[in-house]
Amino acid sequence: MSKPAVFITGAATGIGRATALLFAAQGYHVGAFDIDEVGLSRLAADINNSGGAIYTGVLDVTNATQWPQRLAEFYAQTGRLDVLVNNAGVLRAGPFESIALSAHRSIIDVDVFGVLAGAHCAFRYLRETPGAQLVNLCSGSAIYGQPELASYAAAKSAVKSFTEALDLEWERYDIRVIAVWPMFVATEMLKGVTTGTTKLFGVRLSVDDVAAGIWAAVRKNRRSRKVHYPIGGQAKMLVMAGKYTPNRIARIMNKRFSGY
């Protein structure tokens, strides 16, 4: 129980898997959760073979019953919850009207409700762990709504505001709430996705880049109360530009970047 503990959603592949491997290498007891049992088994084997500590479980982040069950099981193993990484997410790209309404709803359910549910159910464990942190995966798509990623951008904009509000609310409990902001990452989720902005910016980040960004953000001095952490040069540039660019100019730029 002396090991710090991290609970990661969407951990079977991609960013979640890379984050689990990195935190395990840094001495954390890793809780890895996903709907992909095969991927979790492979991750567990890799971490166990390297001498790390891991607990896995099936978790659909949209299932309000599974959240408290998985958290209670992990907390029983560790006696603490130092970091919750809300990583699980889905994405669909294309003209808004061409995507089925059920797919749009799935994006909102996973990328927004999944984050809210995780935070809500984990609060009791984060509060009991001194210096606990909640890390939400945001996106450069939240800077200004992206054509062909309309519902995904909306979901990540919601995560942005939620993170800001919750960091203010939970400061009194010594819980830090932050968002990490990668641009396009080479994952299965982005495979085959072609939009105006992916063509312009390319896919320049690896899952290891994002995992390293999450680790660096968690290690930052919390006294600054910094909330947003862009990952990679492109995201840093766009986040900075977004702070000072009038909406009219931002609209023109996004229209041009996306080919609309």
Positions annotated as catalytic residues are: 152
The neighbour count for residue 194, using CB atoms within 10 Å, is 11
Q: How far apart are CA 30 and CA 119, in angstroms?
A: 18
Burial 207-242 (b: 16+ CB within 10 A, else e): bebbbebbbebbeeeeeeeebbbbbbebbeebbeeb
How far, in whole angstroms, is CA 180 from its chain's centroid?
Answer: 7
Residue type, 165: A
C-alpha neighbours within 13 Å on the C-beta side of residue 123:
13
Cα angle 32, 103, 255 (rounded to 5 degrees) comes to 105
- Spatial neighbors of 38 by CB under 8 A, at least 6 apart, are 12
